[in-house]
A and B are shown apart, each in its own frame.
Chain A
Amino acid sequence: MDKYGQSSGACETVVAAKRWLSDRAFELELVKPAGFDFLPGQKVEVYIAGTTREYTIVSAPGDKHLSLCIRYLAKGKVSSRLAALRAGDVVVFSAPYGYFLHRPGRSVFVATGTGVAPYVSFARSGIRDFILLHGAAAASELYYRPLFEKTAACYVGCLSRLEEAAAAESTLYAGRVTDYLLQELVPGQYTFYLCGNGKMVAEAMKIIDDRFQRSRIFTESFFNDNG
């Protein structure tokens, strides 16, 4: 259809390594197929267990490997199969696609859980001067925190469970990302990127419409909980 909107052709490669980010997510590192070209923020469709799942690329285009961020559900048919893969196992997936790409402007990246994945590729590709609001249920699920603490102009880990936040470091924000948008972020005109569960994306858009008028919004929602 157009430059980035539609995938075409299937790619095949092998697993290079696997790195657990927490007990609920891991990064699957694949040997990058020759000529595989993508833009930070794009995703691929992985074909496995007789079905398909979309996963966001977390490596940078210039990296040697192609890495995917995968949310793990023990009872999930697909993610449990992917979690069982070992180095050398074959993985089949689509060409890269998607428009969740970085644009010029005062960037505010907002994510819940593994929704942080596209921002990982952004940061690894050299994008800087962004604000990142990352929401999680526990500090251990603030994935890629060291990377963002080095690369973001402002990194805000938001813990939705107050007791966890209180027990954790004081630098974390006790509340949801939407609470931060509503109460803390200085009003202004931004380019917002929202990636995560549909409920967060919908709530954040309402807040942005009210509080950050004339801002631009790019969204990537996921709703599936079937792993």
Chain B
Amino acid sequence: MKIYTGTGDKGRTSLFSGERLKKNASRVSAYGTIDELCSFVGVVIAALPQCDGRQELVSTLEEIQAVLFKVGAILATSASSPDIGLLQPFAGEEATAGLESRIDAMEAELEELHSFILPGGHPAAAWAQVSRAVCRRAERDILTCVETEGGHHGEAVLGYINRLSDYFFVLGRYLNTMTGTAEKHWHG
């Protein structure tokens, strides 16, 4: 199957709900950043060290990728479209609670933080911090989309995306700890 169709060559794309939009529309930026984030999660998985609990981390990260696909589909549906009814309602509270329990479990293994840390260390930890930063941008893009185009669909995912960036921050620290990689603190 060919991957190219040429239908987007003039800078337009189709939403899940059928509307044609310019590729720089805020809605397209929002789900585009989610796509970018999902890809970086793939990089984190690829860079994971052979440590205890690796398979559990892979499962969690793949679960996050699946949720991000759902988020992308929600954002690719225009605010007023009844097509949102074709998708399962986003179980934001449940997904967010799942992230929180994983954050708590990892934090229990970490030293308390008293200063900023410089992103880096083990490659997987460094990619986790990139994911955190992209996640923050996704949050800003979703907010812009919701503010300019309206729609409660976008609002429903904001809480999850906010917690997800916290998850990646803690994951980065956790991976450095698990691999014995020293954190570099920033003291200003």
Binding site for B on A (CB under 8 A): 1-5, 99, 101, 103-104, 191, 198, 201-202, 205-206, 208-209, 215-219, 221, 223-224
Contact = CB atoms under 8 A, between A and B. Distances in A.
A209 B22 CA distance: 11
Contacts of A3: 86-88
B89 to A, nearest CB: 10
A202 B86 contact: no
Nearest to A216: B18
A99 B20 CA distance: 17
Contact of A223 (B1, B7, B16, B20): B1
27 contacts: A1-B69, A2-B70, A2-B86, A3-B87, A3-B88, A4-B86, A5-B73, A101-B86, A103-B82, A198-B2, A201-B5, A202-B5, A202-B6, A205-B5, A205-B14, A206-B6, A206-B7, A209-B10, A215-B20, A216-B17, A216-B18, A217-B14, A217-B20, A218-B14, A218-B18, A221-B5, A223-B2
Nearest to B19: A216
A39 to B, nearest CB: 9
Contacts of A221: 5
Nearest to B8: A205
B18 A2 contact: no
Interface of B: 1-2, 5-7, 10, 12, 14, 16-20, 66, 69-70, 73, 82-83, 86-88
Given A2-B88, A3-B87, A4-B86, A99 B5 contact: no
Nearest to B7: A205
A45 to B, nearest CB: 14
B88 A202 contact: no
A198 B7 CA distance: 10
Contact of A1 (B2, B14, B66): B66
A219 B8 CA distance: 13
Rank and list the top 7 A-B pairs by shortest CB-CB distance, nearest first: A216-B18, A205-B7, A2-B88, A202-B5, A202-B6, A223-B1, A2-B87
Contacts of A191: 18
Contacts of A99: 16, 86
B7 A1 contact: no
A116 to B, nearest CB: 20
Contact of A201 (B7, B16, B18, B86): B7
Given A2-B86, A208-B20, A217-B20, 15 more contacts: A1-B70, A2-B70, A4-B86, A5-B73, A103-B83, A104-B82, A198-B2, A198-B5, A202-B5, A202-B6, A205-B5, A205-B7, A206-B7, A209-B12, A215-B20
A217 B13 CA distance: 10
Contacts of A2: 70, 73, 86-88
Contacts of A205: 5, 7, 14
Contacts of B18: 103, 191, 216-218
A143 B173 CA distance: 62
A102 to B, nearest CB: 11
Contacts of A215: 20
A118 to B, nearest CB: 15
Contacts of B70: 1-2
Nearest to B66: A1
A218 B18 CA distance: 5
Contacts of B83: 103
Contacts of A4: 86
A35 to B, nearest CB: 20
A51 B20 CA distance: 35
A61 B12 CA distance: 35
A224 B17 contact: no
Contacts of B19: 216
Q: Choose among B82, B86, B88 the residue with the greatest number of A CB atoms under 10 Å from its CB.
A: B86
Q: Choose among A198, A215, A224 the residue with the greatest number of B CB atoms under 10 Å from its CB.
A: A198
